[in-house]
Structures are given as C-alpha cells and as structure tokens.
Amino acid sequence: MGMAWPRYFILTVFFLPAMVQAGIVRHYKFNVEMTNTTRMCSTKPIVTVNGKFPGPTIYAREDDTVLIKVVNHVKYNVSIHWHGIRQLRTGWADGPAYITQCPIQPGQSYVYNFTITGQRGTLLWHAHILWLRATVHGALVILPKLGVPYPFPKPQREVVVVLAEWWKSDTEDVINEATKSGLAPNVSDAHTINGHPGPTSSCVKHGGFNLNVEGGKTYLLRIINAGLNEELFFKIAGHKLTVVEVDATYVKPFKIDSIVIAPGQTTNVLLTTDQGSGKYMMAASTFMDAPIAVDNLTATATLHYTGTLATSPTTLTTPPPKNATSIANNFIDSLKALNSIKYPAKVPKNTVDHSLLFTVGLGINPCPTCKAGNGSRVVASINNVTFVMPTISLLQAHFFNIKGIFTTDFPGNPPNVFNYTGPGPTNLQTTNGTKVYRLSYNDTVQVVLQDTGIIAQENHPVHLHGFNFFVVGKGLGNYNSSKDPTKFNLVDPVERNTVSVPSGGWVAIRFQADNPGVWFMHCHLEVHTTWGLKMAFLVDNGKGPNESILSPPKDLPKC
C-alpha cells in the first residue's frame, strides 16, 4: 500500500474546493449580420446578432467564465459591451470601441472572455459603437451560484422583458444626417416590448408580445431598457409590481404601480397573478420632463391568464404622462440596497480620496459646414470637455505606454463656476479633448453629477463602466458641498451602474477604484454620447498580486 494518500482525501482537499469555487465555462457565438425584418408594417434590413431582435439572451451563473465569439459579417465596425459586468482586471473584454479595444472590423472576429465575480441578476449586452445598439442588444441573465436562493420567494417562472426603440429608417442614416446638420436626430418611430410595439394607429394589425401566465403564481420579470435615447415608464394594468433588484443588485422589496427605467438600466420585479383570469395591458412609454421632442407612442403587450379566451377584452391602462416627474421619483426614491447580512451594502463611508463635481449637459460649438444648424452644432460635455474619440483604444495606449493618445488632465471640478441650473452663461462653447481622470488603485471616489440648464435642463442617465456605485444623495438645483452631504445615505443607498441625474438637479455617487484599467463614463442616451457627454477614469495597477490589468488576449482587434 505504501504511502499513497487515500483517494477521497485527495478529492476533498485538492479538488472539491476548486469545484465549489469555480463556475463553469460557457461558450456563445454571436454572428453580427444583416437581417430582414418586418416591424411597424415596414420591411427593412437591420443589424442583428444571430438574426434576432432583441438578440439572444446570455445565461450564466455567478463565478462562471463566459466566452463569446463575436464574428462581424456586416459592413460596419463592431464592438459589444457587457453592460454592468465588472470586468475585474479584464478591461479588454469590456467592449466600448476606442476606449478598451479597437473595433472588430468587417470579416474579423474577437472572443470576449470574462469571469462574473460577485454579481448576480439582470444586465444587458449591446453594441458599443456608432448607433448599432439600436438593434444589437439583448439580455444577460446571471443566476446565483448553484444552491444559493434568491433573497425573495422563488418565482414560478422568469421572463425577460426587453424594452427598446424602433426607427423606420436605418439608424446609421438617422445619426449621420443629424451630425451633418448639427441638429438633434429624429426621435424613434415606436417603442418595443420584446421586439414588438403592439398594435399602433399606423399599424393596427401588428401583434405584440404575449405573456401567458397562470393565476395565483409569482413571476419574475427581468425588465431591461435597451432603448437609445429615452427613459421609459413600465406598468401592467390591474397589477402591482414588487421591485426586488436593479442593475444586478438586490434592493429592499417594495410594491409600486409604475417603474421608470433609463437606457442601460435593468429592474427585476415580482408579478403576482392575483387577478385569476383575464387579459391585461402592459405599457412602456417615455419619461421626459424637459421641453425636448420624444417618441410619443406607447408600446403595448399583453398579460394573458390561461383559460381566458383570446377574443375577450383586454383591461387597459393609461401610462403616466411623459412629464410625470413625481411618478418617476416615487420609484427612484423607493430604491434602497437590500443591505442584508448576506448582501451588505459596502458603501465607502469615511475618507473620500477624490471629491469630484462634474457638470453634465449640452453646449453649442461652431460648425461652418452645418447649414441647418446655422453654422453651429449642438454638443455635450462633462465639465465643459467634449470628449474626442481617440484613434486607438485608451486601454491599449495605457497598457503599452503609447504616448499622445490621451491626457490625464480631466478637470475634477467645473472650469467655470456659474449658476448651473439657472439661465446659464452667455458663452455656450465647450472645449474638445481626450482627457481621463487618473485614480490610484483602491482610491475612494465621490462624483457629484450636476445637470446644467445650457439649452435645456434635462435628465441624463449616466453609466460608469467597470464599477458599481452607491447613489448616496440627490437633489434639485445646484449642489451645495457644505449642506448636502449631511443628508447623504451611507447606510443602505441603492447600488447601480447607471443613474439618472435629475433635470435641473444633481446626484452623488461613491465607488471604490478597485479595478485597474480604463473605464468609460457617459450619458447612456446615445445622442448625448455621440455629442461628447463622455469621459474615462484611468485606474492604475495596485501593488498586490491580483491588482494589475491582465495581458490582452492574442486576438484583440487592431485599429
């Protein structure tokens, strides 16, 4: 027998812990291709993943490694972002074109390779270049580790609900025309729920998404706003929604009639089918509390109880008026981190290493070729810097130490102090630059995002890549750095990756810079991203063994 270790011992000591800790590897293939589709009673080819609109859902569990091979079969450059995935040390897989990677050129492919650590819930993936996100998007569902329950009653069934916007014309044409003119692009022609607008006045015969349910059960709806430019209200006739999670973080459950969801945000709700029978309308409609043109069509779908005849009438609902700030706030202000023993809210409480004030808003710059804009164009900025896209990705420039691509002088405070939410300054011009704000590993950061009234006070859903942040405060008017912090919630603030800066107000977020790399932050209204409402944080490597950016994969696209 000799000195051989008993087999079970080897298994237990050497293999079992590894098996318990590591997730599995999941492979996906995304063919980005042109697909003919009929929506809104018109036929047009759109860019899709695997011919689907919305695109395929990615399923994984916490701790899994996901490998997605993206093959570009279209004429556009492509990149895909896994919105909300932390990408710990794997910025190469984050996706924003020219920020963390060069785009995948026509005919080329790239394998996104990342591990999901410390996250579970609903997120989304979407193209992160041009306006391809309009049709190139889908759900990303992260289930808890095997055997770990939800912190709420187990639902009977889970349903992904993707909200989006639909244009009759090609979305690349829409934004190209706008860029030429210097003016705002056309608003969408319809909203969609899982790819369908539901019957509309211009297209009555159009069916809609039908959700078949049994009475007396609980369903988990994973609601995603994959739209480009509009925040949406979502509600279901005759039913309350119990909110349990946003942006893949658990919240204290609460019941509500209408949720509001900005592009890039996700909301999980429990729906109890307590009506027993019938058909009920689901509605998605725009939330916009500024004098700005929007798509006024309401997308509808049907909640259909089993045993109810298809011909029986649907119980209708009236969506909130588009400027219903109070209905939106009723939802937003109800969001609190679950903050349980298992899921504590790890809010940076004490020292703040960087206390930043970022104005977000619009501007007007000269544009001699912009005829429709009378020689000027609408732009957008953070701290008056309109971000200029570099020609190679910032992450590559940083990692390989390529000089001259960006500067590290992004201002931590507005360069000009003015009454941000007042009538605004007379000079509406911004400066152009490819500037990043540099952070040391593990620094604690507070960013107050302050809306400006330049052109119009408007709600901006701001998204940060690479991190979740805590929303510690929010208010109207100009942020007051001596009074407002006393009201911050440092106990159970909601944790998210995309937060709405209220029209004419501010929101304060905090995060720990525990992820080395280059991380994009931008308004998730695609029109504002195009106009330059974007910047990046550069987080240096730490000194510890797992505190450095990993080496790039061999197939990382070249510019």
Candidate segments 268-276, 364-372, 418-426, 517-525, binder of ligand C2O by CB under 6 A: 517-525
| Closer residue to ligand C2O, CB minimum distance, 133 or 279 | 133
Cβ of residue 394: shortest distance to ligand C2O, in angstroms?
Answer: 13
* CA gap 97, 110 in Å, rounded: 13
Q: Which of 39, 235, 465, 496 binds ligand C2O (CB under 6 A)?
A: 465
| Closer residue to ligand C2O, CB minimum distance, 121 or 264 | 264
Which residue number has the CB closest to ligand C2O?
Answer: 83
> Three-class SS of residue 80?
strand
86 binds ligand C2O (CB under 6 A): no
522 binds ligand C2O (CB under 6 A): yes
520 binds ligand C2O (CB under 6 A): yes
Burial 271-299 (b: 16+ CB within 10 A, else e): bbbebeebbbbbbbbbbbbeebebbebbb
* CA gap 546, 89 in Å, rounded: 8
| Closer residue to ligand C2O, CB minimum distance, 221 or 533 | 533
| Closer residue to ligand C2O, CB minimum distance, 104 or 303 | 104
528 binds ligand C2O (CB under 6 A): no
Look at the chain and count its residues: 559
Cβ neighbours for 161, distance < 8 A, ≥ 6 positions apart: 193, 194, 209, 221, 222, 223, 224, 234, 282
461 binds ligand C2O (CB under 6 A): no
Closest to 535 measured CA to CA, from 520, 514, 516: 520
* CA gap 303, 285 in Å, rounded: 17
Q: Which of 120, 126, 279, 474 binds ligand C2O (CB under 6 A)?
A: 126
Closest to 354 measured CA to CA, from 288, 411, 426: 411
Q: Which of 86, 222, 377, 463 binds ligand C2O (CB under 6 A)?
A: 463
Cβ of residue 510: shortest distance to ligand C2O, in angstroms?
Answer: 20
Backbone angles phi, psi at 484, to 5 degrees: -65, -40
Candidate segments 34-42, 427-435, 518-526, 551-559, binder of ligand C2O by CB under 6 A: 518-526
Interaction with ligand C2O in 88-117: which residues (CB under 6 A)? 96
CA dihedral 379, 383, 385, 386 (to 10 degrees): -30
Q: Which of 524, 531, 540, 557 binds ligand C2O (CB under 6 A)?
A: 524
Put residue 194 in one of left, alpha, beta given phi > 0 → left and psi -120 to 50 → alpha: left
* CA gap 263, 292 in Å, rounded: 17
For residue 506 the two structure tokens come to: 């501010």
# binding residues, ligand C2O (CB under 6 A): 11
Interaction with ligand C2O in 205-264: which residues (CB under 6 A)? 264
460 binds ligand C2O (CB under 6 A): no
Cβ of residue 57: shortest distance to ligand C2O, in angstroms?
Answer: 16
Cα first-last separation, the chain? 61
Cβ neighbours for 112, distance < 8 A, ≥ 6 positions apart: 66, 67, 68, 70, 80, 82, 93, 95
Q: Which of 83, 235, 377, 460 binds ligand C2O (CB under 6 A)?
A: 83
For residue 104 the two structure tokens come to: 């995948």
Cβ of residue 467: shortest distance to ligand C2O, in angstroms?
Answer: 12
Amino acid at 485: P
Cβ of residue 534: shortest distance to ligand C2O, in angstroms?
Answer: 8
Q: Which of 39, 81, 89, 474 binds ligand C2O (CB under 6 A)?
A: 81
Quick count: other Cβ atoms within 10 Å of Cβ 416? 9
Cβ neighbours for 179, distance < 8 A, ≥ 6 positions apart: 530
Candidate segments 335-343, 421-429, 434-442, 520-528, binder of ligand C2O by CB under 6 A: 520-528
The secondary element (H helix, E strand) that includes residue 432 is strand 431-433
Q: Which of 39, 89, 128, 528 binds ligand C2O (CB under 6 A)?
A: 128
| Closer residue to ligand C2O, CB minimum distance, 224 or 251 | 224
| Closer residue to ligand C2O, CB minimum distance, 264 or 453 | 264
Cβ of residue 385: shortest distance to ligand C2O, in angstroms?
Answer: 17
Cβ of residue 84: shortest distance to ligand C2O, in angstroms?
Answer: 8
* CA gap 534, 528 in Å, rounded: 8
> Three-class SS of residue 175?
helix
496 binds ligand C2O (CB under 6 A): no
Cβ of residue 10: shortest distance to ligand C2O, in angstroms?
Answer: 45
Candidate segments 251-259, 265-273, 341-349, 519-527, binder of ligand C2O by CB under 6 A: 519-527
Cβ of residue 520: shortest distance to ligand C2O, in angstroms?
Answer: 5
| Chain residues in the site for ligand C2O (CB under 6 A) | 81, 83, 96, 126, 128, 264, 463, 465, 520, 522, 524
